[in-house]
Amino acid sequence: MTQISSVTNPRISQLQRLHTTRGRKKSGLFLMEGPHLLLALLDADMLPYEVYYEPGMMQRQPETLQLLQRLRESGIREQQLIEVSERVIEAISDVQTAQGVVSVMELATFGAKSVVRRRPEAIRPALLILDDLSDPGNMGTIIRTALAADVERVLLTPNCVDVFNPKVVRSAAGAHLFLPIEGNLSWDEIRLRVEAHASGKVLMAEAGSAHIYFDLDLTQPFALIIGNEAHGPSQQARELATVPVAIPQAVGIESLNAAMAAGIILYEAVRQRYQQGA
């Protein structure tokens, strides 16, 4: 088994570069940190490219006591399991308190086509479009909520935060495994996907609209656009949208958080489907 104790080791330097969008694109790899995400991978019968772990930290967490044994039983090769010192795991961690294990994954494993093959077939009315979303926490929360609400897939415009940013991955809590996400799409590409999925029914979250979200029929295929946190929907989003929709708010409240707005509207669609017995 490989052991690394120095933070200056070239392999550790390469991992640190995966904290940047450029480093991830260049290497084709990204990081999933923590035992819970590793367990989610194993539950989905997916093997990491590599796993870096610090035994002492893992022993302090009851849920990870059998994790290494399960990894070995999964068929991962010994050279893919790298034991590291506490200083090293902290150097490659993206959180204030390292969790003792970091999995390295291949970006190609999470392409939309690959994810679709892992997901059960179903009729999924909602298609979600994120328009230049910039906050990693919002992005991760929305992705997690979209999977829970059984969204068909998520489409990202070019100026969205990188969906494999460590903070996005952490906030999404494993949703990357089963939710198809297509990034860096032009509005022409988005329009084609919308036409194929929703036949032109495109909702856009916008405070102040006369259309209230729960008055609409969300049981049939539709697309939902969630705009940038600070600037709202872009001009291209407005041109694509057919119905701006609002969430009622008390007087004096400017707007809801993007992740909250997405969750409210998507779960109204879930409620309507349950009410129909779908």
Could you give all domains of the chain from N- to C-terminal order, each with its CATH number?
2-110 (3.30.1330.30), 112-276 (3.40.1280.10)
The reported pLDDT for the residue numbered 145 is 98
Does residue 186 have a pLDDT over 90? Answer: yes
β-strands 181-182, 154-156: how paired?
A: parallel
Instruction: Please give the model's pTM, rounded to 2 decimal places.
Output: 0.92
The reported pLDDT for the residue numbered 56 is 87
What whole-number distance in Å separates Cα of residue 105 and Cα of residue 45? Answer: 13
Report pLDDT digits (tens) over 44-73.
999 999 999 998 887 776 667 778 888 888
Give me 178's structure tokens: 């089963």
Tell me what percent of the chain is helix, strand and coil, each rounded to the nearest 5: 45, 15, 40
The reported pLDDT for the residue numbered 199 is 82
The reported pLDDT for the residue numbered 169 is 97
Place of tokens 């694509």: 240
What whole-number distance in Å separates Cα of residue 171 and Cα of residue 174? Answer: 8
From the list 3, 125, 110, 100, the residue with the least C-alpha distance to 46 is 110
* Mean pLDDT value across the chain: 93
Give me 58's structure tokens: 């893992």
Report pLDDT digits (tens) over 118-176.
999 999 999 999 999 999 999 999 999 999 999 999 999 999 999 999 999 999 999 99
Helix ranges (DSSP H) in the chain: 10-17, 21-27, 35-43, 55-59, 67-73, 86-92, 112-118, 136-148, 166-172, 187-198, 235-240, 258-276
The reported pLDDT for the residue numbered 68 is 81
Sheet strands side by side (includes 101-106): 2-4, 81-84, 50-53, 101-106, 29-33
What whole-number distance in Å separates Cα of residue 151 and Cα of residue 175? Answer: 11
The reported pLDDT for the residue numbered 190 is 97
The reported pLDDT for the residue numbered 278 is 63
Does residue 34 have a pLDDT over 70? Answer: yes
